Amino acid sequence: MNHLARTTVPPSLLGALVATVTHAHTLEALARPLLELLQTATGMESTYLTRLDESAGVLHVLYARNTHRLTVPEGLSAPWQSTLCKRALDEGRFYTDDVAGQWGDCDMGRTLGLMTYVSAPVRGRSGELFGTLCAASDERRTCSETSTHVLALFAQLISQQVERERLLVALQQANSSLATTVLTDAMTQLPNRRALLEDMQRRLASNQEDQALIVASVGLDNFKPINDRFGHDVGDLLLQAVAKRLRRMLRDSDIAARIGGDEFVVLAVEQRERADEAGAALARRLESATKGRFKLDSALVDYEGASVGVVVAEPGCSHAQALLNRADAAMHAVKRLRKHSASLPTPSVRSIARYAWPVIE
């Protein structure tokens, strides 16, 4: 209140100004009442707030209030170089009651038929120009010192609101980025264990009796020997390559996650009556997706696919971690079976992972 009083705001406007500033939570909610108050303070028919798009070199009229004959339309755009606002800033002359005589070559002033013009720049905290706050008339009008004080104060209030909104956007982006980081595996950019469990819990809680959640646990067999032979950088590249293959095979409603080490999980939803069949088909697709030749930096790795264990959530299942544990147990059972099969002296059975040669360009 004391700050406003020191700016010589007329008592008739002070109460309305305090109420406006107190209740406005957006730029528009602040600007529109201020434009109305600015008309009262200056006696001008038109008041408006502009926004400068500096990269495009264009000035836009964001919000405007018009009475009587003169109309400055909202949405009006003009080349920045040809505007009264640019001339006023360049010359440090923010008021004239003879627009035609002062800036007769200005297309915007001539087109709108302006006679009197007064403005104040709206600047950000670091001094960058956001736009201008303006009042205009098609008649010659005197602008008092009080009016210019009010105009400057309103421009400052708008500047502060712009900064608040910018800060809010920055905070929202930071929060969104943080949330993404917390729920994303840094190595593969897939959802991590936490994100997976949250998604599983949501799907289980939806409790659609005609649908079943399928959980496939994917374990990369013999991953440690790959690291030992080619180095951890190549091992990391293999994890990333597998993640890309999993993404490509997903349906829109599916989700793939890396839950740590060499283990991934894929979720799918299917009609309950065919969930078992769909689960078996999913296991085959995952084995196929993880099988084949991977070009990883300077090495080629021929990989015979991961071990995949699939479970279907029973009706009424509500515990995501317990369901994930079942899928993990099923995967390890498959892993043991494959390891046993690979150890049999049968010519047709190959080791689960075999390593090839450095790439020769």
The model's pLDDT over 275-324, given as tens digits with 9 standing for 90+, comes to 999 999 999 999 999 999 999 888 888 888 899 999 999 998 889 999 99
Among residues of the chain, what percentage have pLDDT more than 90?
61
pLDDT value for 228: 87
Where in the chain is CATH 3.30.70.270? 193-358
pLDDT value for 3: 43
Lowest mean pLDDT across 86-95, 193-202, 265-274, 343-352: 343-352
What's the average model confidence in pLDDT over 107-134? 91
Q: Which residue has the higher pLDDT, 353 or 262?
A: 262
Most trustworthy range by pLDDT among 5-14, 20-29, 348-357: 20-29
Give the sign of the dihedral formed by CA 244, CA 248, CA 249, CA 252.
positive
- Residue 15 — pLDDT band, cuts 50, 70, 90? low
Cα–Cα dist 319/332, whole Å? 20
pLDDT tens digits, 206-234: 877 889 999 999 999 989 888 888 889 99
Query: In this structure, which topology does domain 2-180 adopt according to CATH?
Result: Beta-Lactamase (3.30.450)
Cα–Cα dist 171/68, whole Å? 43
CATH architecture of 193-358: 2-Layer Sandwich (3.30)
Q: Is 43's pLDDT higher than 60? A: yes
Lowest mean pLDDT across 193-207, 286-300, 344-358: 344-358
The encoded tokens of residue 166 equal: 């910018």
pLDDT, averaged across the chain: 86
Specify whether the CB–CB gap between 307 and 342 falls below 8 A: no
From the list 138, 262, 297, 328, the catalytic residue is 262
What's the average model confidence in pLDDT over 25-38? 91
Looking at this protein, which amino acid is placed at residue 113? G
- CA quadruple 15, 6, 165, 19: dihedral, nearest 10: -10
Beta-bridge mates of residue 184: 191
Instruction: Write a three-state SS string for 151-178.
Output: HHHHHHHHHHHHHHHHHHHHHHHHHHHH
Cα–Cα dist 159/353, whole Å? 63
* Residue given tokens 């836009």 in the structure block: 60
pLDDT value for 162: 92
Cα–Cα dist 137/139, whole Å? 5
Where in the chain is CATH 3.30.450.40? 2-180
- The verdict on whether 262 is a catalytic residue reads yes
Q: Is 137's pLDDT higher than 70? A: yes
What's the average model confidence in pLDDT over 260-273? 94
Specify whether the CB–CB gap between 85 and 103 falls below 8 A: no
Cα–Cα dist 200/145, whole Å? 66
Task: Read off the pTM.
Answer: 0.57
* Residue given tokens 């009080």 in the structure block: 146
pLDDT value for 155: 95
